[in-house]
Amino acid sequence: MANQLRVMLEIGLKGKKVVAVAPDWPGLERGAKTEEAAIERLQSYLPRYAQVAKLAGMEGEFAALTTVDIVEHYPGTGSTDFWGISFAFSSIDMRDLSSGELERELTLMQACWAFFDDVRLRVSVQMQKGPRGGGRDRDQIVDHTIHVEQEWAKKVGVPIPQDAMLIGEGLQAYRDAYRDAIRAFHSEGKMARTWPLRYLIRHTAFHTLDHAWEMEDKDLTDGKSA
């Protein structure tokens, strides 16, 4: 139904963590120790994800979601338990994508990138540190996010640029190549090596948003302090 947020639950192998995944909204995933807590945490992030939906031109569709529909439980991996992040493929991930569905997901992935770029420009260079003084600063988070993603992009044949640019035209050219490569693999019915294309897109979107939200949460602008 149009007003239902479809949610999948990935259960860690030892049941230590559960990840709630919204398969229709790439990047909207949150983990916790129980199913109920994971769903509640996912719902708490809806206002934050609404900014992504707006950038994708899907603000009205997203705002209409009023109830949660649990559509699948599936086994995760040991990494699911350890990190509280989705590392396994659901049956929905394995389904064929129509061209329209693919473009919708790529539009949302692009919106996640746009949101990330906006956050990086408005947060402080230095980030709030953990209780023991650890943690990355902004540019380290940005560097990590983009370079890890570029490793995944190799799964669809996108090489890491030798002079990998983290801003401007170089970054845009890489992202365009990433989306075009996904389209090409889709047209040929190919997976991203062992990853379904749906999973590649949602994992890319999640990683981007997770670190964008991290930067927001650790921002020291306007007198914020640890």
The CATH number linked to 82 is 3.30.2390
Q: Per-residue pLDDT averaged across 16-30, rounded?
A: 98
Question: Tens digit of pLDDT for each residue in 70-87?
Answer: 999 999 999 999 999 999
Q: Distance between CA 206 and CA 188 in Å, rounded?
A: 25
Q: Report pLDDT for 37.
A: 98
Do 101 and 180 belong to one domain? yes
CB 6 within 8 A of CB 26: no
Do 39 and 131 belong to one domain? no
Count CB atoms within 10 A of the CB of residue 169: 8
* All residues at 6 or more sequence positions from 25 whose CB lies less than 8 Å from its CB, including other chains: 5, 49, 52, 53, 62, 108
Average pLDDT of the residues of the chain = 94
pLDDT band at 104 (very low <50, low <70, confident <90, very high): very high
Out of 92, 127, 159, pick the residue that ends a domain.
Answer: 92
What region, left, alpha or beta, does residue 19 occupy, with left being phi > 0 and alpha being psi -120 to 50 degrees?
beta
Q: Supply 215's token pair.
A: 């930067």
Do 191 and 149 belong to one domain? yes
Do 165 and 207 belong to one domain? yes
Domain span at residue 218? Answer: 96-223
User: Taking 80 as the threshold, does the pLDDT of residue 66 lie above it?
Assistant: yes
User: Taking 70 as the threshold, does the pLDDT of residue 224 lie above it?
Assistant: no
pLDDT band at 1 (very low <50, low <70, confident <90, very high): low
Helices (H), 64-137: 78-83, 91-94, 99-122
Q: Per-residue pLDDT averaged across 42-69, rounded?
A: 97
Q: Distance between CA 46 and CA 39 in Å, rounded?
A: 11
Do 82 and 104 belong to one domain? no
Do 130 and 21 belong to one domain? no
Helices (H) and strands (E) in the chain, counts: 9, 4
Q: Distance between CA 89 and CA 10 in Å, rounded?
A: 9
For the chain, what percent of residues have pLDDT higher than 90?
88
Q: Per-residue pLDDT averaged across 150-174, rounded?
A: 83
Q: In what order do the strands lie in the sheet with 18-21?
A: 29-32, 18-21, 4-11, 67-75
Do 101 and 77 belong to one domain? no
CA 139 from centroid of its chain's CA atoms: 19
pLDDT band at 226 (very low <50, low <70, confident <90, very high): very low
Whichever domain contains 110, its CATH number is 1.20.120
pTM for this model (two decimals): 0.95
Q: Structurally, how many domains does the chain consist of?
A: 2
Do 101 and 166 belong to one domain? yes
